[in-house]
């Protein structure tokens, strides 16, 4: 069975059989078999190719790594566990935001704490101008899902919707910026996701608690890892079901 993920990744990065063959020290015909027949390269070749196309080995070859090994790698993807999101050091947020050059992806309801940083929105515009892809997903303030979450977090009727609208006011300058996309979702949000290139903050949601008081994970993507990829795929699923944000 052809490996369409590998084929697509090579095409997106402008790479042909000769490029891959030279990088891996193999024959172009071998590379062709990896694509057209779905053959699995040796681990050292998988790592090289994954680095070339900026994808994980787990994405390109889902069955190549044994489940036991995936579990071991997943442990290494966890940089640190924080008992509460508001215990994450400010300088960590600042570093993640400042260092991101390719991807900024945010899946939240409101996340007002982000726009409390005076330069955050301007920074996103600057990153987009330099070629980064910025994708922001907010809870639909008019949805039943947001109303229900406001009750579950004991915020009071309409409070979360108001927070979302308050946050959107800060993002209004990004509406016409190329490279910045903003959407509304109606998903049952089990986690908030903050991706900055190959690092993530995952803010778990706990029934009855506000997000700031729920645990958070700091993840760093590893080529053969599964954990980072799981949350990345979750973001993509919500994104595909969302609609453009209206202000």
35, 64, 93: which is the final residue of a domain?
64
Residue 70 has pLDDT above 90, yes or no: no
Pair (199, 96) in one structural domain: yes
Read off the pLDDT of each residue in 42-49 and give the average, rounded to a whole number.
Answer: 89
**CATH for 179:** 3.30.870.10
Do the bridges between strand 103-107 and strand 133-139 make them parallel or antiparallel, or are there none, so unpaired?
A: parallel
Residue 106 has pLDDT above 80, yes or no: yes
User: How high is the pLDDT of residue 136?
Assistant: 98
In 3D, which of 201, 191, 245, 227 has the Cα closest to residue 69? 227
Pair (115, 83) in one structural domain: yes
Counted residue by residue, the chain has a size of 247
Domain hosting residue 188, numbered range: 73-244
Residues 6+ apart with CB under 8 A from 215: 81, 82, 83, 84, 85, 203, 204, 206
Pair (77, 59) in one structural domain: no
Pair (117, 215) in one structural domain: yes
In 3D, which of 164, 185, 182 has the Cα closest to residue 173? 182
User: How high is the pLDDT of residue 71?
Assistant: 66
Pair (175, 156) in one structural domain: yes
Pair (13, 78) in one structural domain: no
Kind plus residue range of the DSSP H or E element containing 77? helix 67-77
Token reading at 113 = 């704490």
Pair (42, 77) in one structural domain: no
User: How high is the pLDDT of residue 140?
Assistant: 94
64, 91, 115: which is the final residue of a domain?
64
What's the rounded Cα separation, in Å, for the pair 21 and 26? 5
DSSP string, 154-165: T--TTHHHHHHH
Digit-coded pLDDT (tens) for 131-169: 999 999 999 999 998 888 888 877 777 788 999 999 999
15, 37, 64: which is the final residue of a domain?
64
Q: What are phi and psi of 62, to 5 degrees?
A: -55, -30
Give how many domains the chain has, as a whole number.
2
DSSP string, 168-193: HHHHGGGTT-TTEEEEEE----SEEE
Phi-psi region of 82 (alpha: psi -120 to 50; beta: other; left: phi over 0): beta
Pair (185, 96) in one structural domain: yes
Digit-coded pLDDT (tens) for 216-239: 999 998 877 788 989 999 999 999
Pair (112, 82) in one structural domain: yes
At 246, the pLDDT band (50, 70, 90 cuts) reads: confident
**CATH for 48:** 1.10.260.40
Kind plus residue range of the DSSP H or E element containing 133? strand 133-139
Pair (22, 122) in one structural domain: no
Do the bridges between strand 243-244 and strand 180-185 make them parallel or antiparallel, or are there none, so unpaired?
A: antiparallel
User: How high is the pLDDT of residue 11?
Assistant: 92
Read off the pLDDT of each residue in 44-54 and give the average, rounded to a whole number.
Answer: 89
Pair (79, 182) in one structural domain: yes
At 79, the pLDDT band (50, 70, 90 cuts) reads: very high
């Amino acid at each position: 069975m052809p490996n369409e993920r590998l084929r697509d990744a090579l095409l997106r990065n402008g790479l042909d059989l000769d490029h891959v063959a030279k990088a891996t020290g193999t024959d172009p015909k071998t590379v062709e078999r990896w694509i057209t027949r779905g053959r699995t390269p040796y681990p050292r070749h998988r790592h090289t190719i994954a680095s070339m196309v900026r994808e994980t080995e787990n994405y390109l070859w889902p069955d190549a790594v044994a489940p036991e090994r995936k579990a071991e790698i997943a442990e290494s993807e966890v940089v640190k566990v924080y008992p509460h999101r508001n215990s994450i050091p400010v300088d960590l947020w600042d570093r993640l935001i400042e260092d991101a050059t390719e991807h900024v992806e945010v899946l939240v309801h409101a996340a007002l704490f982000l726009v409390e940083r005076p330069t955050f929105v301007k920074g996103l515009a600057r990153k987009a101008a330099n070629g980064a892809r910025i994708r922001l997903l907010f809870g639909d303030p008019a949805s039943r899902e947001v109303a229900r979450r406001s009750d579950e977090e004991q915020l009071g009727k309409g409070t979360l919707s108001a927070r979302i609208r308050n946050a959107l006011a800060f993002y209004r300058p990004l509406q016409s910026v190329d490279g910045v996309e903003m959407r509304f979702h109606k998903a049952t949000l089990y986690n908030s996701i903050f991706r900055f290139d190959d690092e993530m903050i995952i803010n778990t949601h706990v029934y009855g608690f506000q997000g700031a008081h729920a645990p958070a994970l700091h993840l760093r993507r590893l080529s053969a890892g599964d954990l980072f990829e799981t949350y990345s795929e979750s973001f993509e699923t919500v994104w595909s079901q969302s609609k453009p944000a209206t202000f």
